[in-house]
Amino acid sequence: MTAIRVAIVDDQQLVRMGLRMMLDAQPDIDVVAEAADGHEAVAVAAAGGIDVILMDVRMPGLDGIAATERISALEGAPRILVLTTFDLDEYAFAALRAGASGFLLKDARPPELLGAIRSVHAGDAALAPRVTARMIEQFMDAPAPADEAKIDVLTPREREILIAIGEGMSNDELAAHFFLSISTVKTHISRLLQKLDARDRVQLVILAYETGLVGR
């Protein structure tokens, strides 16, 4: 089994040490790098050899949101899981739009964090439940965007699956709801990602709301 290669980005050394101790105790996770600010994080990501980055938000120099945007633009960029003490909507939304695959608070329990790392490495989303709930509320209150042309390329079934993803259904729930096998669900999701030029499941959720398929 190949271990998930993780980089920890946080300006507090004690936080990095605590995370490293927990992650290195896992047989399928290997902490291969650390960084104390956004500039270091970009350099570490550009050097390669990393699968998932745990990214703090508030850091001196270049913050985690700006670093996430720069890293996401790299070819073969690692997945980014934003991990912060600040339970604020603007950070969650900015991180996801910048290219993060997940957003967790630092008060998350170890099993939740470990599960999130494994999920984003597998290409799924990982969002703190209370952040997800408020994200849905905000999109429902926001005006619908004018341009919905990007979803015109979807088949009726693909639209249905995108809506279900936007509503938060997991792969198992999608399979049960549409009477499909898991492999077929994964095929549909792969096609959605390709057709919509989306990086991962998080971007599909955002797109479902931005185009008005969900929340109107």
CATH number, domain with residue 128: 3.40.50.2300
**DSSP one-letter string for 17-33:** HHHHHHHHTSTTEEEEE
**DSSP one-letter string for 46-110:** HH---SEEEE-SS-SSS-HHHHHHHHHTSTTPPEEEEEES---HHHHHHHHHHT-SEEEETTS-H
**54-81: per-residue pLDDT in tens?**
999 888 889 999 999 999 999 889 999 9
Domain contains 149: yes
Domain count, the chain: 2
Print burial letters for 23-59: b (CB count within 10 Å at least 16), e (below 16): beebeebebebbbbbbbbbbebbeeeebbbbbbbbeb
Do residues 117 and 171 both lie within one domain?
no
Radius of gyration of the chain (CA): 17
Do residues 25 and 107 both lie within one domain?
yes
**146-180: per-residue pLDDT in tens?**
456 778 889 999 999 999 888 778 788 889 999 99
Do residues 56 and 96 both lie within one domain?
yes
Do residues 147 and 42 both lie within one domain?
no
Do residues 186 and 102 both lie within one domain?
no
